[in-house]
Structure 1
Amino acid sequence: MSTLWSDHIAGLTPYVPGEQARIPNLLKLNTNENPYGPSPKAIEAMRAMLDDDLRLYPDYKAQALRQAIAKRYRLAADQVFLGNGSDEVLAHIFNALFRRGDRALWLPDVTYSFYRTYCRFYDVPHRLIPLADDFTLRVEDYTGPVDQEPAGVIFANPNAPTGCALGLDAIAAIAEARPDCAVVVDEAYVDFGAESAASLIGRFPNLMVVHTLSKSRSLAGLRVGYALASSELIDGLLRVKDSFNSYPLDRIAMAGAQASIEDEAWFDRTRRAVIGARDHLAQNLRVLGFTVLPSQANFVFARHRSEDATVIAQRLRDQGILVRHFQAPRIDQYLRITVGTPEQCARLCDTLKTVLST
């Protein structure tokens, strides 16, 4: 701790990303990266940008990319906001939409842990709403009458780390019940089986949907995320962004992102491959004694019926396989396992057969 820090820094508890280990023959199933590479068209587009024009600033409005995203979701370009990964988009959302005096932000008790980090960073009061015993979100917990309206509502759909998803009727019910605040749906994993709430934006001016190119587009290394909402909500984010960093995306990132968005065939082929591998992996894990939650993401959330999760995670690590284990209430006996290729999933299951018998 330094005496030169700003006053609030000592009280921060930073988010802890998944381990980035340097292990020989590593099988990395802990950070939900896509096992398949990005669109070849995206690679080609990025290579084409490696010229003398890199001396120039990029388009701070990223208009071409915004238009490509807007076209895909049948929205207008001014309904699209871009950021350096969806985590930056979320940071601007917390700053622009959730700092509303003593009103509390509502979020599930088991969800993406960065939300609570942002609450502390931006001094946003928050209320944790418990998921049901089966880790599903109960719509009625978000729609009933209250003494004080929330500052906002945020949840991941499909949820992380559980993989469970809500249908559009449930999301619409929450947005309709809370018209005086922004309802933010973080859809980082939506392309692996759930329905996007982007189709509801025209009905609900308080609804915002957040996407990333890190998962289904295989571009975690590029850092591109975006939000979809009414132009009024997007304008609030732009005011924050342009008071913080007007150029969050570089020329190379914008070119690769646009080409990826436009290559629907590659996107559909790779996401279907992940979905098929996920269902096969879940079946094999159940045979090995795991209880596996129904997942619509590119990972599964599972607990073994007799073995301790900490022990399993360490034994897998000893064999060069990383999975994510959260030391958190309600989920400390669960492992979140990223879906790899069929060959990678087979290696995981073969290794589990060995470590579970020792």
Structure 2
Amino acid sequence: MSRYFTKTLAALEPYTPGEQLKLPDLVKLNANENPYPPAPGVAAAVAGAVPGLRLYSDLTEAALCAAIARHCGVQPENILCGNGSDENLLLALRAFCDETHPLAFADITYSFYPVLCDLLHIPQHVILVEEDFSLDLSKYHGLNETIVIANPNAPTTLLQLVAAIEEVVRTNPDSIVIVDEAYIDFAGPNASCVPLTKKYDNVIVVQTFSKSHNLAGARVGFCVANPELIADMNRIKFSYSPYNVNSLSQAAAVAAMEDENYFRDTVGKICATRADTMTKLRERGFTGPDSATNFLFVTTSRMPCKQIFERLRQKGVLIRYFSAPRLSDYLRITIGTPEQMQRFFEELDLILG
């Protein structure tokens, strides 16, 4: 780093995303991206927005908020859009945490939470997950701190029931509870905590277009909450990045959100491939929880997981390996198309012999 970098952030450890290699015949199963193209109407919607690029994007994101509201069964005033769900998380933490209001989260979860805390000078209350990686949500009852719960959790794939999260919300009436639902559409019906936003004024549900709506490159996320919380986060947004979602991404997201049939079809295909992949992995001696996401979290005693990761990488198949304690014996494998998973198993079988 340069000698000009602020000393208060000199120790900041940035978030580490999955590798973004550009290689021929690459099978990319390391970033939890959707393996299918965007909905058919997205390209036309983006092309239609091109003439308007001479103007700033819609500050209110009105059309997009309306489309999301219809999909989620809420009102547009309950929606705030962001440059990916990561920005919605940043807006929420900036609005509802500070040096005297810590953020509570699990030790094994989305690794962006501690990065945001370090960046924003927010104290961290890290709560250990259980030996089987499950969350004992009773540990979150009555904390009187801002709380974030990834549901389903990453990288463990585990899902908490809405009733269990509601108890966390109920027992922390004077604190914000953020439910990060990046993968919720792969968890089955009635898994989302969006209905809790109608019942409680202290819950924020964060979702994204990157996974189930096939738009990771468009960088669009949103959160659902009562209008007063949305207004608080909008004050933060308008203080640093009022035009946070560009016109092309807004148009793409509206088209993707409105094509419910394509959404259900691609989610269904991913869930079917997920089940098939887990069956085949178990046949090969891998173990791991049943996943509620578009990826698997598995381990094996046949070969060190780091070695499997490295040898697959040499063959042009990318999966994710974490060297952190408690995770170093596990692999995270994104669900691709059936053809991609076939290539994955071909290379895996050669490695395992």
TM-score range, shorter chain: over 0.9
Calculate the TM-score normalised by the size of structure 1. 0.96
Counterpart of 2:134 (choices 130, 133, 136) is 136
Task: Say if 2:68 is the partner of 1:74.
Answer: no
Q: How much has 1:346 moved relative to structure 2?
A: 1.4
Letter in 1 for 2:228: E
**Larger displacement relative to structure 2 (296-305 or 68-77):** 68-77
Q: Per-residue CA shift, 1:22-74, capped at 9, x if unaligned?
A: 333110000011011110112211111122x2111111011111111112222
- Counterpart for residue 157 of structure 1: 151
8 Å Cα contact 2:27-2:340 kept in structure 1:
yes
Does residue 197 (structure 1) correspond to residue 193 (structure 2)? The answer is: yes
Aligned CA distance change for structure 1 residues 60 and 103 (closer, same or farther; 3 Å): closer
In the TM superposition, residue 305 of structure 1 has moved relative to its aligned partner by: 2.2
Letter in 2 for 1:161: P
Matched-pair contact (CA < 8 Å) for 1:187–1:210: yes
Q: SS at 2:318's partner residue? A: strand
Distance in 2 of aligned mates of 1:250 and 1:140: 41
CA distance in 1 between partners of 2:77 and 2:7 (Å): 37
- Alpha-carbon deviation of 1:142? 1.0
- Which residue pairs with 1:121 in the alignment? 119
**1:6 shift after superposition:** 2.3
1:314 maps to which residue?
310
**Partner Cα distance (1:314, 1:302) in 2:** 16
Question: What amino acid is aligned across from residue 18 of structure 1 in structure 2?
Answer: G
Distance in structure 2 (CA, Å) of the matches to 1:279 and 1:337: 13
Amino acid at match of 2:274: R
How does 1:156-195 map onto structure 2 within 5 Å?
156-194=150-188, 195=191
Per the TM alignment, residue 122 of structure 1 is displaced from its structure 2 partner at its CA by: 0.6
Say whether residues 1:91 and 2:63 are aligned partners: no
What per-residue deviation string (whole Å, max 9, x for no partner) do you get for residues 142-164 of structure 1?
11x55xx21x1101111011110
Matched residue type, 1:170? A
CA RMSD of aligned residues (A): 1.1
Percent identity for Structure 1 against Structure 2: 40
Partner of 2:11: 11
Matched AA of 2:36 = Y
Q: Secondary structure at the match of 2:217?
A: coil
The answer as to 2:336 corresponding to 1:351 is no
Matches of 1:251 and 1:16, distance apart in 2: 28
* Residues in 1 aligned to 2:312 and 2:229: alpha-carbon distance in whole angstroms: 45
For 2:245 and 2:59, locate their aligned partners in 1 and report how far apart those are by CA, in whole Å: 8
Residue deviations 1:230-263 (CA, integer Å, cap 9, x gap): 1111111100000011101111111111111111
**Range moving further from structure 2, 2-11 or 12-21:** 2-11
Query: Quick check: 344-353 or 108-117, which moved more?
Result: 344-353
Q: Deviations over 1:183-241 (max 9, x none)?
A: 00110100012411101111111010001100000000100000100111111110000
The secondary structure found in structure 1 opposite 2:199 is coil
The one-letter code sitting in structure 2 at the alignment partner of 1:289 is: G
Q: Distance in 2 between matches of 1:179 and 1:91?
A: 22
Kindly indicate whether the alpha-carbon contact (under 8 Å) linking 2:302 and 2:352 is maintained by their aligned counterparts in 1. Answer: no
C-alpha displacement at 1:102, in angstroms? 2.9
Q: Pick one of 247, 255, 264 that aligns with 1:268.
A: 264
Secondary structure of the 1:93 match is helix
Map of 1:32 onto structure 2: 32
> Is it true that 1:246 corresponds to 2:259 in the alignment?
no
Distance across 2 between alignment mates of 1:232 and 1:308: 50
The total of aligned residue pairs comes to: 351
Contact kept in structure 2, 1:285 and 1:292, CA below 8 Å: no
TM-score, L = length of structure 2 = 0.97
Q: Which amino acid aligns with 1:156?
A: A
CA distance in 1, matches of 2:100, 2:236: 21
C-alpha distance in 1 between matches for 2:24 and 2:53: 36
Partner of 1:295: 291
* Paired amino acid for 1:119: C
CA distance in 2, matches of 1:139, 1:8: 33
The answer to whether the 8 Å contact 1:291/1:305 transfers is no
State the 1:103 CA deviation.
3.6
Tell me the amino acid that sits aligned with residue 35 of structure 1.
P
How many angstroms apart in 1 are the aligned matches of 2:37 and 2:60? 28
Counterpart-to-counterpart distance in 2, 1:7 and 1:349: 47
Shift >4 Å, 4+ stretches: none
Q: Which amino acid aligns with 1:140?
A: S
AA in 2 matched with 1:128: V
Distance 1:104 1:279 in 2: 39
